[in-house]
Structure 1
Amino acid sequence: MTVRPIRLCVFGDSFVAGVGDPTHRGWVGRVAEYVLGELSIDLTVYNLGVRRDTSSDVGERWHREALARFSDECDNRVVVSFGVNDTTLQDGSYRVEPDESESNLAAILDRAASHGWATLVVGPPPIADQRQNVSTAVLDERFALLCQGRAVPYIHTFSHLAGVTSWTREAAQGDGAHPGARGYADLADLVCADITAWLGMPADSVGGRV
């Protein structure tokens, strides 16, 4: 069986973009480095994280950006990660209401599945604002249940990182949300194994496809 090159688009917010990391690698760059060291695959990774993006923002742009990068000759895959900006209060209301956040994620996963693109979701992390963390934790669980119903791999980061001192300390010492290099390394360590296993599986055997 011929193994096709993999093109991986990672969509999301400032945490995907790696904001706050002085090495400019973030978790996406670290995971890509790890995967290429573990698997003998032809992998191209596109970091498509945009600061302040909500699930609605990603939902509006992801499809055209993926089409511009994917090829019929490749095993095309999508990772999405968002949620913290959705639960940010703006004029007394969430920037995106939880029901809409869930609908946005569902629409992305369903449209990707219609193309045969495998998907994986990385859940939103905690920040230094404990009030907002309560809302993000609820959204995290809603996202997880949605993915479970679609057989899409979901990586919880919230509960794990909430107990990681380097993540919480760097976020508090920075802008209140984004960690530094050590925090992003912790996040990368958390997701590396699952993403590596997912990328190492044949395209027709991973979740998120129809």
Structure 2
Amino acid sequence: MKPLRFVAMGDSLTEGIGDPVGEGWRGWAALLAPSCGAVEFHNLAVSGSQTADVLNRQLPEALKLRPDLVSVIVGVNDTLRCTFDIQAVAARLDEVYAAAARHGAHLLTACLPDPGAMLGLPGALARPLARRQRAVNAVVHALSERYGAVHLHLAEDEWVTDRTLWSADRLHPGERGHRLVAARFHALLAARGLAAGSPPSCEPQLPSPTRSASLLWLATAGTGWVARRCTDLLPQLLTLAVDEVRHQVRGSSARLDLSATHAVAAALAALSLAEQPDAA
């Protein structure tokens, strides 16, 4: 098997936030690379990136590197903006995935947990964010299948509720979590004959953060992090929360879920139509 050239794209998860090494971050992609036999590993992920950043900034650089393996994990930051538009997110991801496929690269993708639930936000605030993240995950699922991606499910309860896997900020994996992501990706790649080396170790070198450290982060840096990420969302999120409560009182919350489902279906249908220029 020839060595692989691995390029990672995305946001803070792939940048490695939560897995400190020296003065910087390491993360799951750097842990995975040696296990794939990669002779070149390039991490283009940047904290705070949205799908537009991956498409317009990271993808051109990635294609110049002529990768054999490309990871694209992004979308949470899109859900934290007042400009959130699932159709635009779907179109951008489709373009990124398609570009990787055209260049013959194997694609790695993942669905992600809901940030509102991770932060423990009140239900009226958390549910709109959860609905958005489910929409992004539905798009990622559909497009991953379309392009034959190696897809990892990271939104399930067991992974989300194990606090030993998360850093003090409760939003990024800690070292143990990054190692688990790397090991799970390795297993999927090995099943396709794309992982030449041994799986990454799941044993962390640093202890998991204590509960007091997590609470301290939330009370200090965490507040600032949420404020920076959600500056333009907060007014809209409050409006969404009021709407959420109103529907809950009326017993019509299902309408909000149905509307989100229809939006995802419309976004994917638009991509299908775009592939058929002669369609009426």
CA contact (8 A) 2:6 2:38 kept: no
1:100 maps to 2:74: no
Any idea what the Cα deviations from partners look like across 1:12-46, whole Å, max 9, x if unmatched? 0000001122233211122124x15xxxx453221
Q: 2:132 aligns with which of 107, 117, 135?
A: 135
1:155 maps to 2:156: no
Q: State the partner residue of 2:108.
A: 120
Alpha-carbon separation, structure 1, partners of 2:114 and 2:179: 15
Alpha-carbon separation, structure 2, partners of 1:77 and 1:149: 17
Q: State the partner residue of 1:67.
A: 63
CA contact (8 A) 1:137 1:158 kept: no
1:81 maps to 2:73: yes
Calculate the TM-score normalised by the size of structure 2: 0.58
Alpha-carbon separation, structure 2, partners of 1:111 and 1:67: 8
Q: State the partner residue of 1:14.
A: 12
Alpha-carbon separation, structure 2, partners of 1:189 and 1:133: 27
Q: Root-mean-square deviation (CA), in Å? A: 2.5
Letter in 1 for 2:99: R
Do the aligned partners of residues 45 and 65 (structure 1) sit closer, same or farther apart at CA in structure 2, a change above 3 Å counting? same
Identity %: 25
Q: State the partner residue of 1:182.
A: 176
Shift of 1:134: 3.9
Calculate the TM-score normalised by the size of structure 1: 0.75
Do the aligned partners of residues 86 and 4 (structure 1) sit closer, same or farther apart at CA in structure 2, a change above 3 Å counting? same
- The size of the alignment, in residue pairs, is 183
Letter in 1 for 2:141: A
Please say which structure displays the higher CA radius of gyration. Answer: 2
Q: State the partner residue of 2:30.
A: 29
Alpha-carbon separation, structure 2, partners of 1:61 and 1:165: 33
Shift of 1:6: 1.6
Secondary structure at the counterpart of residue 120 of structure 1: strand
Do the aligned partners of residues 116 and 22 (structure 1) sit closer, same or farther apart at CA in structure 2, a change above 3 Å counting? closer
Letter in 2 for 1:53: S
CA contact (8 A) 1:161 1:187 kept: no
Alpha-carbon separation, structure 2, partners of 1:44 and 1:29: 11
Higher helix share goes to which structure? 2
Do the aligned partners of residues 151 and 22 (structure 1) sit closer, same or farther apart at CA in structure 2, a change above 3 Å counting? closer
